[in-house]
Amino acid sequence: MRPQKQEITQDLFVHSPLETSKGEEISGTPVTFWSEAWRRLKKNRGAFIGLITIILFSVMALLGPLLSEHSYLEQDLARSNLPPKVESLEWLGFDGKDVNGIDQYEARGITESFWFGTDEFGRDLWTRVWTGTQISLFIAIVAALLDLIIGVVYGGISAFYGGRLDNAMQRVIEVLIGIPNLIVIILFILILEPGITSIILAMVITGWVGMARVVRGQILQLKGQEYVLAARTLATSNAKIIWKHLVPNAMGSIIITLMFTIPTAIFFEAFLSFIGLGLQPPFASLGVLIEDGYKSMRFFSYKLIFPAIVISAIMISFNLLGDGLRDALDPKMRK
């Protein structure tokens, strides 16, 4: 027998009770663009590890010199070229013995320990490495922020107003791009006395060009959007359209470019110090320490190893973080 079909009637449907108090309630937590970007960034292991590494080295650059009783300028020839010694890490080679297996601390009657050893003048390398990290990060961050300010202002104005002004401003950028960046930096430092200020100014001379081109490209893409037309219709000033509407929407590309600018600035500072055009002794930076360690790496390799590890870890971390931010701030990467 065929099963009988049940007739569907109106009384079979019952309205669910409606609570008027929950009519305007939003189900779930609203997700903003930046919270969604942070969630995607945390899922990127490489970028998140890079972020933690940058924070760790930044904290050590501030607190590391305070953990030692010796200043980075303090000299004592009686403790020159001491190998690293950490009482709880002798099994890792931090036992204070030189290449011949002689405990230099016992041989010289030195009771205190130097975690990274000392240099040829008896200066504590632990203090000098973290002070050098502090100075290198300071130079790189200040130079990158100046590049950010100049590049955003220059690129934003050039793209927004366009026309002859844009053509003239872009010719200036093309001239600066045609000159090798490193040559300009070296010539500028040769004119001024080597120091922190001269290094920062030398890197800013042409460093802002890349940021300006990125901002110009983003503003050219965004200024034709509907919200810009709506702002013009409401008689919004050009300055407010640029700084309140266009630049914030281009902030993703700006942040990514900034993250790649910082390791480039660290490299330039280290290179200039390595060839003798950066900071001058007795001041410390990662480039100065690497240059000092390179001279004696055959017999005292620890002088080169520690600053090389620090600068390599910082540069790799910034590049990993930049790659992660590029993926996190790209709406096309949403799943």
- DSSP character at residue 94: -
Stated pTM of the model: 0.82
What are the distances in angstroms from CA 50 to CA 30, 152, 312, 322? 28, 26, 12, 9
Buried/exposed code over 51-73 (b: 16+ C-beta within 10 A; e: otherwise): bebbeebeebbeebbeebebebe
Cis peptide before 3 (omega within 30 of 0): no
Q: Which two tokens stand for residue 1?
A: 């027998």
Please state, in angstroms and rounded to a whole number, the distance separating the CA atoms of residues 81 and 70: 15
The lowest-confidence range among 9-23, 159-173, 300-314 is 9-23
In terms of average pLDDT, the best of 119-123, 228-232, 295-299 is: 119-123
Beta carbons within 10 angstroms of residue 82's beta carbon: 25
pLDDT digits (tens, 9 = 90+) for 95-112: 888 777 888 888 888 888
Architecture of domain 144-333 in CATH? Orthogonal Bundle (1.10)
CB-CB contact of 71 with 327 (8 Å) = no
CB-CB contact of 202 with 142 (8 Å) = no
In one-letter notation, the amino acid at residue 47 is A
